[in-house]
């Protein structure tokens, strides 16, 4: 299908959206405005900062990112594969139990015990595997995320490596770290079809945290409290919420979410374990301001850039849709390899039409493509053309 | 006066506090618990995380710091010298005006204009000049802050240096940067006696921000929004809230807050401009956990350390009141020279009495003293003995 049809599909006929289409402009504020109330478990969030796709899929509005180095939790996107467990699991956080398997001395640990084993903190981009799906040209059935299914957040917890060593070390045959979420299912449910259980390569054991704090506060239910498995540099789904079991395993989980979902099968091919899993994130960036038509004059163009599994090295900005590029500067402290960096380029805009885009390069020399290779479900979009900002300066 | 009397003065006779005294223990949770409601302008804060000394003096509870690298705004201390202006000054943030004087082309700029001139972000310890006053032995009349009149926060704004250069550069004779707050006073008030107008040395021009964002959100009224002058490494009072005028001046402000307050006169001497002003912060640290008696077993001792005007280089922990020391490790990313670092020391506590203290050293080799030299009003306390945690492990 062509781009026009794809856009029509997205727009779903709201007057505002049709206006945006007529003017030929496409950016976050204009295409998926949905009037809906925030569900109870995320009632603490700022409704004005969010696009509510559904109860379990809520995106940060592009104009709400501002120039924040760290994304406040009340603006952070929400994506749950299934409904969260009851809020009562937070009543006594320290008694939450997680079983650790595939180690010399397997057993259960409470969160209270984990807190006395060690502490580390990582700032990282938390990003839904499907962020940017709206920018793929082919038809996809998942949530049509634009840029806002991502945020830069600080997690604090104990390194899984520390816990594993205190329990006698990893099983020598282990090739994966498998985390199981604590969601609850009605009797009779086909649990392996719905359970949130993800496996990541054993190499991630060096960076995984069992985290109890997000941005300096106990983790909310919406974001996986009381305990979440954090895998820096990996897409959101791999960061298992309400984690109740960690196993170092020889094989990947047999759950559907691992075997037949979150796979990078080509467009039209059926998903399955023979295709690569959605794991590491790739290099990416986008502009957050300006987003709207404006008067001529000085402007500070800002956005965010990150390298995913690698550090981000540089970011360039183009005002003419990619014909010419200028390097932007990073703002504030470097929060580490897995974090995003806010970038800025002060300039002067004269009257005219602009197509503002950004292109990041990571520490391994990988640059964002103009348009990424497609995959059937629309994961890992990192093209620089998709989130272009088209504005008129008068 | 002796320490016992000083403590009695602090404790003001609550049963809980007297109990703490009787057991010989002194730490945040036990000595200044005051039952009071949060005033309206800080109603968004977490009451359980705070000690309310008065409407304009509110301290973070020591057990509320947790292991946060950045202090959430809803736990951050509040200290206003006078009542804040009406909340209506936030109705249209971008129209807030600040006049810039002592430059080639003086004039007024709106916040909307400042936002298009440049952007930078600094993470820094915001700390009241009087933080730790409760630990001085002599009698002082100001708020008896313990450790909690401090937080580590991220500010975003435009470098003042950028603004000054765009306005023709600094007056060659300028020796100070003087900021004036936008508080309002009733007719007939002796404005020079009450106005919040502070001068800092011109060298600070290289780091000052005119900031509109705190931790990624527009600055609240409680913390100086819509615009605050941020002077990294300087105590709280120098970071002028609701800033409406910045002047590069040859002399310090003639306001009382500059001339006769916030001066480091010795105990018993009258304050005045002949004594050093309270400007740069010094090296400091304290323990945040554990704070209470506990059972024997593993524990991760944590706290925060910062260098003030310098970066912090290392921090040591003692379990025996300073007889022996071990170096702790820093947790998470280094947020820059002016930020604090969370530190940790995992250990195993056997039954007994412990006096847990920490001692930081900055990049210039300055270490915290056991007890700092006193000054009359009780500013800049940075001794390691004062905030000692005395616990029994059984």
pLDDT tens-place string over residues A125-140: 999 999 999 999 999 9
CB B302 within 8 A of CB B67: yes
Q: What is the pTM of this model?
A: 0.91
Q: CB-based contact (8 Å) between A116 and chain B?
A: yes
Going by the DSSP 8-state scheme, the letter that residue B39 receives in this structure is P
Asked, as a colleague might, if the bond just before B307 is cis with ω within 30 of 0, I would say no
Q: Do B332 and A156 touch (CB under 8 A)?
A: yes
CB A33 within 8 A of CB A11: no
Residue A277 has pLDDT above 60, yes or no: yes
**B355, exposed or middle or buried, with CB in 10 Å at 0-12, 13-18, 19+?**
middle
Looking at CA atoms only, how far is residue B116 from chain A in angstroms?
4
Q: What does residue B355 show for φ and ψ, rounded to 5 degrees?
A: -120, 100
Q: Do B332 and A216 touch (CB under 8 A)?
A: no
Split at pLDDT 50, 70, 90, the class of A35 is: low
**A8, exposed or middle or buried, with CB in 10 Å at 0-12, 13-18, 19+?**
middle
pLDDT above 90: percentage of residues in chain A: 89
Residue A318 has pLDDT above 70, yes or no: yes
User: Given this model, what pLDDT does residue A24 score?
Assistant: 33
Query: What is the enclosing helix (H) or strand (E) of B111?
Result: helix B111-114
Residue A17 has pLDDT above 70, yes or no: no
pLDDT tens column, B12-40: 333 333 333 333 334 333 344 455 789 99
Where b means 16+ CB within 10 Å and e means fewer, B111-122 reads bebbbbbbbbbb
Name which of B249, B246, B250 is nearest B163 in CA terms. Answer: B246
Split at pLDDT 50, 70, 90, the class of A37 is: confident
Split at pLDDT 50, 70, 90, the class of A115 is: very high
Query: Which chain B residues touch A72 with a CB distance below 8 Å?
Result: 215-217
Q: CB-based contact (8 Å) between A117 and chain B?
A: yes
User: Given this model, what pLDDT does residue B37 score?
Assistant: 83
User: Given this model, what pLDDT does residue B222 score?
Assistant: 97
Q: Considering only alpha carbons, which residue of chain B is nearest residue A346?
A: B118
Between positions 90 and 109 of B, the ones with CB within 8 A of A are none
Q: CB-based contact (8 Å) between B152 and chain A?
A: no
Residues B77, B58: Cα–Cα separation, whole Å? 5
Among B44, B67, B118, which would you mutate to test the A interface (most chain A Cβ atoms within 10 Å of its Cβ)? B67
Q: CB-based contact (8 Å) between B154 and chain A?
A: yes
Query: Which chain B residues touch A298 with a CB distance below 8 Å?
Result: 116-117
User: Given this model, what pLDDT does residue B186 score?
Assistant: 87
Bridge-based pairing state of the strands A243-249 and A97-101? parallel
Would you tell me the crossing angle of helices A15-22 and A3-11 to the nearest 10 degrees?
Answer: 160
Q: Do A67 and B119 touch (CB under 8 A)?
A: yes
Residue ranges of chain B with pLDDT lower than 50?
1-33
Q: What does residue A29 show for φ and ψ, rounded to 5 degrees?
A: -70, -15
Bridge-based pairing state of the strands A217-218 and A312-318? unpaired
User: Given this model, what pLDDT does residue B32 score?
Assistant: 45
Average pLDDT of chain B? 92
pLDDT tens column, A148-207: 999 999 999 999 999 999 999 999 999 999 999 999 998 888 999 999 999 999 999 999
User: Given this model, what pLDDT does residue A181 score?
Assistant: 98
User: Given this model, what pLDDT does residue B35 score?
Assistant: 52
Helix (H, G, I), strand (E, B) or coil at A343: strand
Residue A36 has pLDDT above 50, yes or no: yes
Q: Considering only alpha carbons, which residue of chain A is nearest residue B112?
A: A299
């Amino acid at each position: 299908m062509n781009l026009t049809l794809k856009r029509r599909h997205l727009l779903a006929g709201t007057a505002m959206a049709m206006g945006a289409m007529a003017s030929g402009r496409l950016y976050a504020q204009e295409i998926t405005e949905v009037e809906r109330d925030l569900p109870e478990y995320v009632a603490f969030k700022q409704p004005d900062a969010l696009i509510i796709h559904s109860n379990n899929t809520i995106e940060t509005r592009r104009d709400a990112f501002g120039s924040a180095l760290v994304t406040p939790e009340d603006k952070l996107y929400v994506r749950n594969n299934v409904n969260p467990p009851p809020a009562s699991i937070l009543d006594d956080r320290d008694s939450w139990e997680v079983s650790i398997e595939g180690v010399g001395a397997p057993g259960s640990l409470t969160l209270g015990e984990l807190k006395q084993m060690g502490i580390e903190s990582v700032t990282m981009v938390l990003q839904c595997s499907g962020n940017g799906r709206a920018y793929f040209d082919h038809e996809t059935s998942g949530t049509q995320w634009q840029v806002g299914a991502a945020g830069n957040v600080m997690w604090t917890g104990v390194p899984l490596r520390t816990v594993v060593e205190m329990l006698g070390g990893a099983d020598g045959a282990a090739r994966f770290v498998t985390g199981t979420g604590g969601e609850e299912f009605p009797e009779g449910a086909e649990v392996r079809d719905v359970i949130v259980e993800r496996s990541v390569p054993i190499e991630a054991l060096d960076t995984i945290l069992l985290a109890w704090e997000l941005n300096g506060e106990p983790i909310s239910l919406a974001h996986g409290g009381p305990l979440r498995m954090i895998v820096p540099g990996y897409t959101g789904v791999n960061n298992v919420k309400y984690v109740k079991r960690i196993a170092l395993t020889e094989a990947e989980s047999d759950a559907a979410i691992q075997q037949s979902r979150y796979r990078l099968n080509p467009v039209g091919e059926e998903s399955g374990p023979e295709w690569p899993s959605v794991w590491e994130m790739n290099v990416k960036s986008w502009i957050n301001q300006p987003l709207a038509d404006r008067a001529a004059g000085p402007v500070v163009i800002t956005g965010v850039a990150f390298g995913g599994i690698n550090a981000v090295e540089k970011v360039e900005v183009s005002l003419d849709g990619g014909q010419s590029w200028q390097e932007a500067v990073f703002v504030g402290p470097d929060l580490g390899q897995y974090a995003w960096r806010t970038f800025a380029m002060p300039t002067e805009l004269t009257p005219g039409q602009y197509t503002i885009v950004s292109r990041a390069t990571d520490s391994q020399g990988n640059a964002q493509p103009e348009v990424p290779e497609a995959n059937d479900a629309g994961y890992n979009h990192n093209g620089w053309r998709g989130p272009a900002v088209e504005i008129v300066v008068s």
